[in-house]
Chain A
Amino acid sequence: MIAIIDYGMGNLRSVQKGLEKAGYASVITADPEQVRQAPGVILPGVGAFADAMNNLRTSGMIEPIQEVVAAGKPFLGICLGFQLMFEASEEGGNFQGLGIFPGQVRRLPPGLKVPHMGWNALTIRQANPFMDGISDGAEFYFVHSYYVDPADPGLIIATADYGLHFCAIAGREHVFGAQFHPEKSSDLGLKILENFGKQVHAC
Chain B
Amino acid sequence: MLKKRIIPCLDVHGGRVVKGTNFVNLRDAGDPVELAATYDQEGADELVFLDITASSDGRAIMLDVVRHTAEEVFIPFTVGGGLRTIEDIRDMLKAGADKISLNTSAVQTPRLISDGAWKFGSQCIVVAIDARRRRHADGTVDPTQDAWEVYIHGGRTATGMDVLTWAREVEKLGAGEILLTSMDCDGTKDGYDIALTRAVSEAVTIPVIASGGVGNLEHIRAGLTEGKADAALAASIFHYKEYTIRETKEYLEKCGVPVRRWQKK
Contacts and interface: CB of A to CB of B under 8 A. Distances in A.
Contacts of A120: 1-3
Interface in B17-75: 40, 45, 70-71, 74-75
B3 A118 contact: yes
Interface in A62-119: 113-119
Interface in B64-92: 70-71, 74-76
Contacts of A13: 70, 96
A29 interface: no
Interface stretch (B137-145, B156-164, B256-264): B256-264
A113 B202 CA distance: 11
A116 B123 contact: no
B207 A118 contact: yes
A47 interface: yes
A169 interface: no
Contact of A183 (B74, B124, B261): B74
B16 interface: no
A47 to B, nearest CB: 5
Binding site secondary structure of chain B: loop
Interface string B96-124: 10100000000000000000000011111
Contacts of B45: 118-119, 141
Nearest to A121: B1
A47 B119 CA distance: 9
A187 B264 contact: yes
A120 B75 CA distance: 14
Contact of A46 (B75, B121, B230): B121
Contacts of B265: 187
Interface stretch (A14-22, A34-42, A147-155, A170-178): A14-22
Contacts of B264: 187
B231 A118 contact: yes
A117 B70 CA distance: 20
Q: How many B residues touch the partner, as a band? A: 20 to 34
Contact of A186 (B2, B71, B74, B205): B74
B234 to A, nearest CB: 17
Contacts of B177: 117
B263 A187 contact: yes
B95 to A, nearest CB: 9
B93 interface: yes
Interface string A177-203: 000010111111110000000000000
B191 interface: no
A162 B2 contact: yes
Contacts of A121: 1, 3
The 8 A-B pairs with the shortest beta carbon distances in the complex, nearest first, are A119-B260, A119-B3, A143-B123, A139-B260, A184-B76, A47-B121, A120-B2, A46-B121
8 contacts: A10-B121, A17-B96, A115-B176, A118-B2, A118-B231, A141-B76, A187-B265, A190-B74
